[in-house]
Amino acid sequence: MAINYEFYESPNPRKDGKRTFHARVVGFNKVSTDQLAQEIQEESSLTKADVKAVLVALADKLARHLGEGSKVFLEDIGYFQVNLKCGREVADEEGMKRAGVAFKSVSFRADAELKKKMRVAKVQRSRISRHSLPLTMEQIDERLTEYFASHEILTRRGFQFLCQQTQSTAGRIIRQLVEAGKLKNISLQRNPVYVPVEGYYGR
């Protein structure tokens, strides 16, 4: 596996007017707690349930200490700390009394060991287009029929590559296919896996 990237035009051109581009990670694959727990179970003496229990407890302790204003360090991972915000602009001492200071976000700073491990990560230009290929629903049906002739299941990422669509467009088209009764999800809502409904795509 590798980190997929694509080039995007930088918003602020150089003084000489020349366009510049920067690389950005695309097609993030969401890794769930279940997946992490399963992988750790396979590589240790811990059970999946043990790992999930530890991760749940870790999340609770992390929230507690952050909520007490502490900076939390996880060895070989990094630092977590809370950021605050003011509900209104503060310009003087009087304004400080009515600032409405509240929680804003949690920031993360990677530990040196994690950065060291990431330096050897492979990167590759994404095979999925930044722009959707204009396809009619009939053309999409043809591609899916051909695909399911040799595959049992389809993921959203697989659909992106098959029909050369962006992530958002792929998600929208898949929802249309599900609503039309052509595809159905046989997995979790957060990590869907699709199969044809009987009567479609050669089934």
Look over the chain and give the mean of its residue pLDDT values, rounded to a whole number: 89
CATH number of the domain located at residue range(s) 137-196 in this protein: 1.10.10.10
pLDDT confidence of 64, banded at 50, 70, 90? very high
Q: What is the pLDDT of residue 14?
A: 64
Reported as type and span, the H/E element at residue 160 is: helix 156-163
Percent of the chain with pLDDT over 90: 62
Q: CB 194: neighbour CB atoms within 10 A?
A: 22
Reported as type and span, the H/E element at residue 95 is: helix 93-97
Say what the pTM is. Answer: 0.57
- Return the exposure string of 56-85: e unless at least 16 CB atoms fall within 10 Å of the residue's CB, then b: eeeeeeeeeebeeeeebeeeeebebebeee
User: Tens digits of per-residue pLDDT, 154-179?
Assistant: 999 899 889 888 888 999 999 999 99
CA–CA distance, 95 with 101 (Å, rounded to integer): 11
Tell me if 27 sits within 8 A of 128, measured CB to CB: yes
User: Tens digits of per-residue pLDDT, 112-140?
Assistant: 999 999 999 999 987 765 667 788 999 99
Percent of the chain with pLDDT over 70: 94
CA–CA distance, 116 with 183 (Å, rounded to integer): 43
- Sorted by where each begins, the domain ranges of the chain are 137-196
User: With 90 as the cut, is the pLDDT of residue 51 above it?
Assistant: yes
Q: CB 50: neighbour CB atoms within 10 A?
A: 14
